[in-house]
Chain A
Amino acid sequence: MTKPIAATNDFVVKFANVNGSGSASANGMFAKVILRMGVPVGARNIFPSNIQGLPTWYEVRVSEAGWLGRRGGVDLMVAMNPQTWDADLKEIMPGGYLLYDSSKPLPASKFRDDINVIGAPLTELIATEFSIPRERQLFKNICYVGVLAQLLGLEADTVKQLLTEEFKGKDKLIEPNFRAFELGRAYAEANIPPIGLRIKRSDKVGDRIFAEGNDAAALGAVYGGATFCAWYPITPSTSLAESFQKYCTMLRKDADGKNRFAIVQAEDEIASIGMVMGAGWAGSRAFTCTSGPGISLMNEFVGFSYYAEIPAVIFDVQRGGPSTGMPTRTQQSDLLLAAYASHGDTKHPMLFPANPTEAFEMGAQAFDLSDFFQTTVFVMLELDIGMQEWLTEPFKWDEKRRLNRGKVLTYEHLEQGVPFGRYRDVDGDAVPYRTYPGTHPTKGSYFTRGSSHDKDARYSEKGEDYTEGMARLLRKWETMKSHVPAPIIKKAKKRAPDGVIYMGSTDPAMEEALCAMESHGIHLDALRVRAFPFNNEVFDFIRDHEQVFVVEQNRDGQLKSLLVNEGGVHPARLVSVLHYDGTPITARFIIKDITEKLQAGQAAALPEKAK
């Protein structure tokens, strides 16, 4: 028999469930109890594109050290789905644990002999207390949380406190939940010997919050002054629009109950972005939220926004592509699509939040940038950030901060005789002035069009008018570089000839990988890209290192392509580390891939040295 795994505050628990069975809230409760006990967790739903009946998993990584990326491997499997039993069992580390519903006997062949099997007759236990079938199904979930609480040492009072908060307003659900929890806990206390995995109260959570990226981005949009959301339902972005609705209802009603916001569910993604264009043109901060397929459809309008210079914000919650791809899996594979969306010469700014806190910040900042630069700004979320709860820094807002509406001429400006030409570069930064419709009876009107125009917005097919406008747009792009969020650079403890560049949700896995590699003598300077166009620091960083690993979650190395294309970097100096199976990247993957590539590089270099 393999030695049972023994670990405190450092292990992975995975729940295998059937979707639609109500397991999500019980599993979420499990993660939150551990957080309340001061121990960091990284938690992820792995779910199908389906409403009921298909397998779904919830993975909780408990890490006192604070590593929140996915680890890989499972120490304790809570196997509640017969459909996936065999695969679920395979995932358990040797010496790990299996908790299953032992109400029905299973043949010995269904188990492994190198793991510790824990049976609890959950269905039977629940049947003694509950009679309605739906209740039996739901309370079975909280019953296994009771078993786990006993096995792992979760504080029963903390569980009960959370249940009370969760069902506030639906108070009659509190007592049966308590009962189901206690059924499981008491059974485990009486029948199951202690196991090697423990949760021990700690103080490593601090004032951090447990938040979803989509929810955070929507809240950012509220603080960023967005008044209009036009959207079309698509996984994994739908919850962003729903959260915007929730927060606006909470925070943007006037005394008479009237809305200081508008939300329209459009007929498709094209209409969504069209409405955003109209509102942006008329001076309201507007956004849409979508995923890759939606961006494909919005291309024509994004090009219009670039050329006619209309502010818009698009939250792209990236999922697995191409085509319908993997709607419920995560990727970073829309970079090229968004960066150069639409026909003709175009490019568009992108922001890359790495966690819900940044989703909030960039969710607000995107509106200042799009208003100032009068163009579409993409906030490149990912399913792994958008639809998962992350332990993250609390949301912050500076009360003195004002919304930067950019260069808008008002009635007073026009009345004072300030000259207006819609596409003139007055200030030398290539950013023109605009007016909102209806501003002044005789001054400041102009005609917006996607066809070629001169600097006063008049239709023109003259080559010099066209090139003047296109060249100014490039100069505007240059101005943008110093306004978008700067990269975050982490120097290695020792001098490092090589570097690594990454973005977005790769952040926690990369932090863990850097730390682990360092302990093995591999030192890398690291740079997290936070925006496109790339700031000059990004290319300085590449120049200062012999080779740079570019870690990203897509097949084709899209971030690398952008670096090569925009910075004239020699492709051979950038070495891709690519993870694209739809699961979040892990530290283990990064360490293995980089280590192998470094060793291969040294091996290749040997004959050179031998000469």
Chain B
Amino acid sequence: MTYLAKPPLHHPSLERNAVGFTRRDYEGRISTLCAGCGHDSISAAIIQACFEIDLEPHRLAKFSGIGCSSKTPDYFVSPAHGFNAVHGRMPSVLTGANIAAKDLIYLGVSGDGDSASIGLGQFCHAVRRGVNMTYICENNGVYGLTKGQFSATSDKGSKAKKGAENKDSAIDLVMLALQLGATYVGRSFSGDKSQLVPLIKGALSHKGTSFIDVISPCVAFNNHVGSTKSFDYVREHNEAVNRMDVISPRAPIRADYKPGELKEVVQHDGSILRLRKLEDDYDSTDRNAALGYLARKAAEGEIVTGLLYVDPDASDLHDGLNTVACQLNKLTDQELIPPLSALEKINASLR
């Protein structure tokens, strides 16, 4: 339905959030992706999450690389500035923008080709640096825009639409992110909005590098029998370790769960991640345990979803760089240009 323009007027009875915006204020242009594409569900989840955490839409900065997933930042939160970078290089661009203007909320959207193949290096190094961002990989295991080649996250043995079998081992970005020091790591499924929206909300509220791998079946090229990224396969093998609610610092505390069932994690900004365990032996604050659990389950062919790891007291790139409180892009001439006397002193030292 890409030829229909969205009406710009909102219904007056639409619900407004604490900063005065309706859900429709977080929408973008109409998607040009295929009907039924998982990526559109993720865009809808991003819209919902931004609305629910009361983020003023212009305080978001959206980044992407190249590919189907990377088109999506045009389809959500239009009042935010967006940057569609070159293929595989979104992490560096986002890093630079974050260094210049740290008070914005950074969201990078990428795909499995953009993140795990051409951009694997930049993905790794952005995570290592602890860039304060939410990095979402819309993972469908296939190159959609170029019509169906395997990507680096395709599982070994997975079948292409025309029957070819993938012989290469898959890169698991969640495992990588955990190893490289990401401080908020989740995995979800584009078909499970009730799981995905809170994960994104928690990530956007998190200080440090948040990574969410979202399995997002490609209806055109990777949704057939024999694919391990199809709707049916993911539904059958999805093993959620927890369900989460994100409670904003302002919300009243409710207690409607039995003691012991809940784990509450208070993040840097005061938001509370309320985790309801589905797996008894899973602890989302233990990085090494998470790595072991994920490796065991992957060997069994299970796709583990939920909030897999969080360090609520993480530091970020700016802490390491020891930058001033003021955004670098707001420093005045007076703060930037040293006095003439300093130059004269330097001249004198060079004689």
List the interface of chain A (C-beta within 8 A of B). Answer: 35-36, 207-211, 219, 222-223, 225, 227-228, 230, 250-252, 254, 257-264, 266-268, 270-284, 286, 300-301, 304, 394-397, 399, 401-403, 435-442, 445-451, 459
Interface size grouping (class) on chain B: 35 or more
What residues on B are CB-neighbors of A251 within 8 Å? 338, 342
Selecting from B42-50, B99-107, B182-190, the interface stretch reads: B99-107
Within 8 A of A (CB), among B48-101: 56-59, 61, 63, 73-74, 78-86, 89, 91-101
Shortest Cβ gap from B33 to chain A (Å): 13
**Cβ–Cβ < 8 Å partners of A266 in chain B:** 92, 125
What is the CA–CA distance of A209 and B345 in the complex, to the nearest angstrom?
Answer: 12
Tell me the complex Cα distance, A273–B93, Å.
Answer: 8
Question: In whole angstroms, how far apart are the Cα atoms of A574 and B114 in the complex?
Answer: 47
Question: Across the interface, do B59 and A275 meet the contact criterion of CB distance under 8 Å?
Answer: no
**Is the beta-carbon distance between B95 and A222 smaller than 8 angstroms?**
no
Known: A283-B329, A459-B74. A436 touches B101 (CB 8 A): yes
Pair A445/B79 contact, Cβ less than 8 Å: yes
Report A-chain residues with C-beta under 8 Å of the C-beta of B89: 270-271, 274, 300-301
Given A274-B92, A402-B333; 13 other pairs, CB 8 A cutoff: A35-B351, A219-B346, A227-B336, A260-B328, A262-B318, A277-B93, A280-B100, A282-B96, A394-B347, A447-B74, A448-B81, A448-B84, A450-B85
Taking a contact as CB atoms under 8 Å apart, the answer to whether A227 and B100 are in contact is yes
Min CB distance A11 to B, Å, is 23
Choose the segment among B196-204, B280-288, B319-327 that binds chain A (4+ C-beta atoms closer than 8 Å): B319-327
- 8 closest residue pairs by CB, A with B: A278-B96, A274-B92, A284-B100, A275-B96, A437-B81, A283-B329, A282-B100, A278-B97
Indicate which residue in A262, A301, A399, A446 contacts B81 across the interface (CB closer than 8 Å): A446
Evaluate contact between A258 and B323: CB separation under 8 angstroms.
Answer: yes
Cα A275 to Cα B328 in complex, Å, equals 14
Closest to A32 in B: B351
Most buried by B among A276, A283, A396: A283
Q: Quick check: B100 and A278 within 8 Å, CB to CB?
A: yes
Known: A275-B93, A438-B61. A260 touches B324 (CB 8 A): yes
Establish whether residues B84 and A451, one from each chain, have CB atoms under 8 Å apart when the complex forms: yes
Assess the B58–A445 pair: CB atoms within 8 A.
Answer: yes
Report the bound CA distance from A401 to B340 in whole Å: 11
B86 and A301 form a contact (CB under 8 A): yes
CB of B338 within 8 A of CB of A222, answer yes
The reply on B122 being an interface residue by CB < 8 A is yes
Q: Would B96 and A437 count as touching, CB distance under 8 A?
A: no
For the complex, give the distance between the alpha carbons of A438 and B62 in Å.
11
A208, A252, A262 interface centre (most CB from chain B within 10 Å): A262
Most buried by A among B59, B85, B318, B342: B85
Q: Contact at A403–B82, with CB atoms within 8 Å?
A: no
Between A230, A284, A397, the greatest number of chain B beta carbons within 10 A of the residue's beta carbon is seen for A284
Q: Is there an interface contact between B96 and A228, defined as CB atoms closer than 8 Å?
A: yes
| Interface residue? B261 (CB, 8 A) | no
Q: Known: A258-B325, A441-B79. Contact between A282 and B101, CB under 8 A?
A: yes
Residues of A within 8 A of B129 (CB): 264
Chain A min CB distance to B89 (Å): 5
Tell whether B299 is near chain A: CB-to-CB under 8 Å: no
A441 touches B58 (CB 8 A): yes
CB distance from B324 to the nearest CB of A (A): 4
- Give chain B residues whose Cβ lies under 8 Å from the Cβ of A397: 337, 340, 343
Which residue, B63, B97, B331, has most C-beta atoms of chain A within 10 A?
Answer: B97
